[in-house]
Amino acid sequence: MRIEVSFNAAQLDELQLRDKNVVVIDVLRASTTVAVALANGAREIIPVATIESAVKISGSLFGEVTLRGGERNGRMIEGFNLGNSPAEYTDATVRGKSIIFCTTNGSVAMAKSRYARRLFVGSFVNLSAIVDAMLEDGEDYVLLCAGKPSGLRSFSIEDAVCAGMMIQKLIQAKKFPLDLPDASRAAATLYKGLGRSLLKLLKLSDHGQYLAEIGFAADLKLCAAVDSVPVVPVQQGTVIKLRKPEERPVAEPDPVRTEPA
């Protein structure tokens, strides 16, 4: 089971993700928001890379069952119904709704993964559920950290630590031999060094400090709550839905023993 890590989705072309098993990680806040929205009954999430796409798609969908959610510079986009704070995606607001989702990095990484063989959306809030899903068949995975737009501050430490925590849990599961290239080992080492207090990690991170400055300090606690939203958001066609328990691959029965025990 080979686990690759990309620390910045902007560096990859969508064809490099074609037919791969991908977990998109954007802890602050897109992946967390997607998990919360689906857990609260949203029908589906439609990730788009641009505001223009969001407006175009919502024009073709029925207004009453469609919401537009997302952010630019952490704040709700003008003309949208929701920003990107997980706290906004309550049951009362999102149940039964299709959410056209447009954020700076997270939804771009999700849209870039549209040709993946399998796409999960992972964060701290649903970490164990994602790791369990990865362990169902032991296939190779790419942990795709959304990161931030290219430039000096394109590395997102919270996404890297989340990837490292997933890797550490895969190691501890001892279910499959793991092939961990350099970036994967680096992520696991980051988690070992910084994973003791995830809230502190988020508060000290570049984006966490920015979110706190613009009034979203409460989101950091929500995003740091490990396994608080134990769901598996999975791509189905061009949308992301909640994977139902019956959609888990059925475990292969142990081969019937023919020779005497």
Q: Is the Cα dihedral 161, 11, 216, 83 positive or negative?
A: negative
Of 28 and 127, the one with the shorter C-beta distance to ligand MLT is 28
Of 147 and 164, the one with the shorter C-beta distance to ligand MLT is 147
Stretch that binds ligand MLT, among 2-10, 21-29, 223-231, 245-253 (CB under 6 A): 21-29
Cα–Cα distance list, 105 to 101, 109, 146, 207 (Å): 11, 6, 6, 12
**Contact pick of 20, 29, 68, 97 for ligand MLT (by CB under 6 A):** 29
Rg (alpha carbons) of the chain, rounded to whole number: 18
The least distance separating ligand MLT from the CB of residue 146, rounded to whole angstroms, comes to 6
Structure tokens at 46: 């439609």
Question: Residues 88-127: x/- map of binding to ligand MLT (CB under 6 A)?
Answer: ---------------xxxx---------------------
User: Which single residue is written with the structure tokens 């023993």?
Assistant: 257
Of 71 and 88, the one with the shorter C-beta distance to ligand MLT is 71
CA angle 240, 246, 252 (to 5 degrees): 115
The least distance separating ligand MLT from the CB of residue 207, rounded to whole angstroms, comes to 6
The least distance separating ligand MLT from the CB of residue 69, rounded to whole angstroms, comes to 10
The least distance separating ligand MLT from the CB of residue 178, rounded to whole angstroms, comes to 28
Distance CA 22, CA 36 (A): 20
Distance CA 101, CA 130 (A): 21
Determine the residue type at 47: P
CA angle 69, 73, 74 (to 5 degrees): 55
**Contact pick of 4, 6, 21, 26 for ligand MLT (by CB under 6 A):** 26
Q: Binding to ligand MLT by residue 71, rule CB under 6 A?
A: yes
The least distance separating ligand MLT from the CB of residue 105, rounded to whole angstroms, comes to 3
Length of the chain in terms of residues written: 261
Do the bridges between strand 3-6 and strand 75-76 make them parallel or antiparallel, or are there none, so unpaired? unpaired
Stretch that binds ligand MLT, among 27-35, 93-101, 121-129, 163-171 (CB under 6 A): 27-35
Question: How many residues lie near ligand MLT (CB under 6 A)?
Answer: 13
Of 90 and 168, the one with the shorter C-beta distance to ligand MLT is 90
Grouping H, G, I as helix, E, B as strand and the rest as coil, residue 142 is strand
Of 106 and 233, the one with the shorter C-beta distance to ligand MLT is 106
Of 111 and 180, the one with the shorter C-beta distance to ligand MLT is 111
Q: In the window 197-216, what residues touch ligand MLT (CB under 6 A)?
A: 211
- Omega before residue 29 within 30° of 0, cis: yes
Among the listed residues 67, 14, 25, 258, the one whose alpha carbon sits nearest the alpha carbon of residue 158 = 25
Interacting residues with ligand MLT (CB under 6 A): 26, 28-30, 71, 74, 84, 103-106, 146, 211
